[in-house]
Amino acid sequence: MATASSMQQPALLLRQLTQDPVTASLLAAALATAVLMIAAVSRGGGRKPRLPPSPRGFPVIGHLHLVRPPVHRTFHDLAARLGPLMHIRLGSTHCVVASSAGVAAELIRTHEGKISERPLTAVARQFAYGDDGFAFAPYGPHWRSMKRLCMSELLGPRTVEQLRPVRRAGLVSLLQSVLHRASGAEAVDLTAALIRLSNTSIIRMMASTVPGSVTEEAQALVKAVAELVGAFNVEDYIAVCRGWDLQGLRRRAADVHRRFDALLEEMIRHKEEAREARKMRGGAEGETPEKKTATGTTTESSKDLLDILLDKLEDDAAAEVKLTRKKIKAFVIDVVTAGSDTSAAMVEWMLAELMNHPECLRKVREEVDAVVGRDRIAGEGDVASLPYLQAAYKETLRLRPAAPIAHRQSAEEMVISAAGGFTVPAGTAVFINLWSIARDPANWDAPLEFRPERFMAGGRNEALDPRGQHFQYLPFGSGRRGCPGMGLALQSVPAVVAALVQCFDWAVDGDAEKIDMEEADGLVCARKHPLLLRPSPRLSPFPAVV
């Protein structure tokens, strides 16, 4: 889950808080206390580190008044004045913002061990079951064990491949729904449809046999978690407000967490009952439809992600760090929350960019027609044979990364040579502005233009890969805290776009000639307005089997 968006609209929030007399009084007392504390510290003297340049701020709130959504654009504008590494203070939280490939490279290559932590907000801690989560877990044995499990089994190439039919089924449902709307000349809200596809697919990948009612409830709860974790919480940034829950966010989070926990228990119980029934059938009949391992668990061919986790829970001897029921539930929340809206947003951005650049759309469509044909629907297995489609996706990732800011925390003091020898103290929040870095004219020709050709053979950026090794291009982050779902996203997102442009011609609903590209506030960098398009079937007859 991204965390930079937790700073959305702080100035507006502070105005709202002061409208309530009780809250205003508490804030006034807090501000007075903080001013006295700051004065006492300033009289204390001592060596001061050479901090990066900083804009003018205020006592207590620091630079919160400067932050406007979307945050990555605010940071980009400030960096244009202050340089590639700047210091800002969000209330009581000291932060540095890196906005160049050189500074990002030094932070990750040289100081990776010092910035392996991610700050854990009050709300995120509730959904992480304290320290049992994965996304915000401290760097240590538990996190390393979960990362290895995630990369080798849960989201590794073999499991991603095995669960491809689950994702394919979701795509079939989406295409059938669009075809039905097309027959009635209706506009399709692709924003809602893609979020539904993404949520359903990842929940089914997690637990393929859960009832449909569970999937629907999970989708509603995922949305609630994203909204709560992405909300600006004053107690996370102004120390003297901690514990007050002035906005009621922790209270609301507790209710959502309770409901989500009950749903997860239902999912796990349903899975445990199914696994036990398989074992009993195997014992009574001598075999089961799925082959069994020596321990009685199902083979790889029938496993979903929850099966893999429950196997690890039962296999105490093989576990470096004992997996618990709480750790499993925390991991499920992490995966479904982080992976749902991000994939939907990337499909939407990519389709919108192609429609705003008709020549690029034509090239993608002609490539799909030439490689796949018109008697079957493009799928994930075709992506490797579609280089222009991949280039268009890479260009979308460059301009519209789903998580535009990588958020870390320094455990030790660092001196950043690439920024002029400035010091980053221990306990500082470290923001790497991936959005800004990917638009730096020092590394990109015409950086604001959508040009997939830059990633094609002979293009200047042909050799660049989005997997985190090239620091001018880090759409999934890099290093230890890089996105573990990157491999899945690189397969699934372009495949959905390929199917949508292969099967349908699309027209903007209404009088607009182009799709607006304004960004929304929130946890994921998504489009601000719903993508409403009118589809017309291209394939006749439309393939009966997708």
User: How far apart are the C-alpha atoms of 162 and 302, rounded to whole Å?
Assistant: 8
User: How far apart are the C-alpha atoms of 543 and 375, rounded to whole Å?
Assistant: 6
Q: How many CA atoms lie within 13 A of 199 on its CB side?
A: 20
∠ CA 514-519-523, nearest 5°, is: 145
* Cβ atoms of 329 and 184 closer than 8 Å: no
Which residue ranges are tagged as binding site? Answer: 483
* Closest C-alpha among 434, 360, 441 to residue 398: 434
* Closest C-alpha among 480, 496, 222 to residue 343: 496
User: How far apart are the C-alpha atoms of 202 and 211, rounded to whole Å?
Assistant: 14
Taking CA atoms, 422 is separated from 52, 96, 103, 147, 364, in Å, by 5, 10, 11, 32, 46
Taking CA atoms, 90 is separated from 55, 350, 363, 445, 521, in Å, by 12, 33, 46, 34, 18
**How do 93-98 and 429-433 pair as beta strands?**
parallel
Using a 10 angstrom Cβ sphere, with 0-12 exposed, 13-18 middle and 19 or more buried, the burial of residue 387 is middle
User: How far apart are the C-alpha atoms of 305 and 374, rounded to whole Å?
Assistant: 34
* Cβ atoms of 75 and 97 closer than 8 Å: yes
Which residue ranges are tagged as binding site for heme? Answer: 483
User: How far apart are the C-alpha atoms of 296 and 56, rounded to whole Å?
Assistant: 64
**E runs forming strands in 380-475:** 405-409, 414-416, 422-424, 429-433
**DSSP string of 44-107?**
T------PPP----BTTTBTGGG--SSHHHHHHHHHHHH-SEEEEEETTEEEEEE-SHHHHHHH
Phi, psi of 94 (to 5 degrees): -85, 135
User: How far apart are the C-alpha atoms of 496 and 136, rounded to whole Å?
Assistant: 30
Residue 253 makes CB contacts below 8 A (sequence gap 6+) with 123, 126, 127, 228
* Closest C-alpha among 425, 412, 484, 525 to residue 4: 525
Dihedral sign for Cα atoms in the order 437, 441, 447, 452 = negative
Residue 512 makes CB contacts below 8 A (sequence gap 6+) with none
